[in-house]
C-alpha cells in the first residue's frame, strides 16, 4: 500500500485511499477537476479504451499526480477469468496500452470483482501469484461507497457510506466508480472530501 502515493492522510495517522474503478468515462474529467480543486490525489484502476476521447484522460490522471492502476483491459469476467493465459494476456495488453498512452508502466492492479470473487474459473491464488511474479501489486478495498449496487443512491447516501466507515481503519481503501452512469458518485465526491478534511 505504501507504494501508492495517492492517498489522503487525515487525523495525523489515518490514511484513506480514494480509488476509482472502471474508467475512463465521460465523468473522468469532472472527477479530476474536483480532485484538483481540493488538492487530493486518488488512484484510478482503468480499463482499456482506445477511442480518441479517452486518451487525454489517461494522460491527465498521470500528469495531475494520481496513481494509474489496472483493472483489466476488457473487464469481461468470462474472458479474463477463463485461464491464467487469458488473464495475463489481458493484463499485458492493458499495461502496454497504458505505457504507450502515458509513458507510465503501471504496477498496480485491482481484480474485477475483487481478489475473492466467486466468478473466476481459475483459482484466484494463481492469478495473485502471477501478478506477484510480474512485480505488480494488487489492491482490494475495505470501504465501499455502494454506488455499484442496483439501487440508485443519492450523493449524500454515497458520501455517508464512505465517511461513516473510513475511520474504522487505519488504512481505508475506498471503492468508487468512474463510469458513465455514476454521476451521483461525482456529486458525492466533494461531500466525501470535505467530510474527510473535517476529521
Ligand atoms: Zn470493475
Q: Summarize pLDDT for 96-142 with one digit per residue, the tens.
A: 999 999 999 999 999 999 999 999 999 999 999 999 999 999 999 99
User: 3-25, pLDDT tens digit by residue?
Assistant: 455 666 666 678 889 999 999 99
Q: What separation in Å is there between the alpha carbon of 100 and the centre of ligand 1?
A: 22
Q: What is the pLDDT of residue 10?
A: 62
Q: What separation in Å is there between the alpha carbon of 12 and the centre of ligand 1?
A: 31
Full-model pTM: 0.94
8's CB contacts (< 8 A; 6+ apart) are 15, 16, 17, 18, 40, 41, 193, 196
Q: What separation in Å is there between the alpha carbon of 175 and the centre of ligand 1?
A: 10
Q: What is the pLDDT of residue 151?
A: 81
For residues 120 and 139, give the distance between their C-alpha atoms in angstroms, rounded to a whole number. Answer: 17
DSSP assignment string, 14-26? EEEEEEEEEE--T
Q: What separation in Å is there between the alpha carbon of 145 and the centre of ligand 1?
A: 14
The percent helix, strand, coil of the chain (3-state, each to 5) is 40, 15, 40
User: 131-185, pLDDT tens digit by residue?
Assistant: 999 999 999 999 999 998 878 899 999 999 999 999 999 999 999 999 999 999 9
Q: What separation in Å is there between the alpha carbon of 20 and the centre of ligand 1?
A: 9
Amino acid at each position: 500500500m505504501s507504494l501508492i502515493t495517492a492517498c489522503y492522510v487525515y487525523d495525523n495517522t489515518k490514511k484513506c485511499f480514494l480509488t476509482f474503478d472502471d474508467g475512463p468515462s465521460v465523468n473522468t474529467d469532472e472527477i479530476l477537476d474536483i480532485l484538483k480543486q481540493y488538492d487530493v490525489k486518488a488512484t484510478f484502476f482503468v480499463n482499456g479504451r482506445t477511442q480518441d476521447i479517452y486518451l487525454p484522460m489517461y494522460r491527465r490522471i498521470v500528469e495531475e499526480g494520481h496513481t494509474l492502476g489496472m483493472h483489466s483491459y476488457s473487464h469481461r469476467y468470462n474472458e479474463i477469468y477463463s485461464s491464467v493465459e487469458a488473464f495475463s494476456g489481458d493484463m499485458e495488453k492493458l499495461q502496454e496500452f497504458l505505457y504507450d498512452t502515458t509513458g507510465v508502466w503501471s504496477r498496480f492492479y485491482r481484480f474485477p470483482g475483487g481478489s475473492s470473487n466467486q466468478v473466476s474459473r481459475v483459482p484466484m491464488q494463481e492469478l495473485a501469484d502471477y501478478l506477484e511474479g510480474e512485480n505488480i501489486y494488487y489492491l482490494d478495498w475495505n470501504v465501499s461507497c455502494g454506488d455499484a449496487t442496483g439501487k440508485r443512491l443519492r450523493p449524500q447516501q454515497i458520501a455517508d457510506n464512505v465517511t461513516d466507515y473510513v475511520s474504522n481503519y487505519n488504512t481505508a481503501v475506498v471503492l468508487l466508480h468512474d463510469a458513465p452512469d455514476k454521476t451521483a458518485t461525482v456529486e458525492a465526491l466533494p461531500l466525501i472530501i470535505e467530510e474527510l478534511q473535517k476529521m
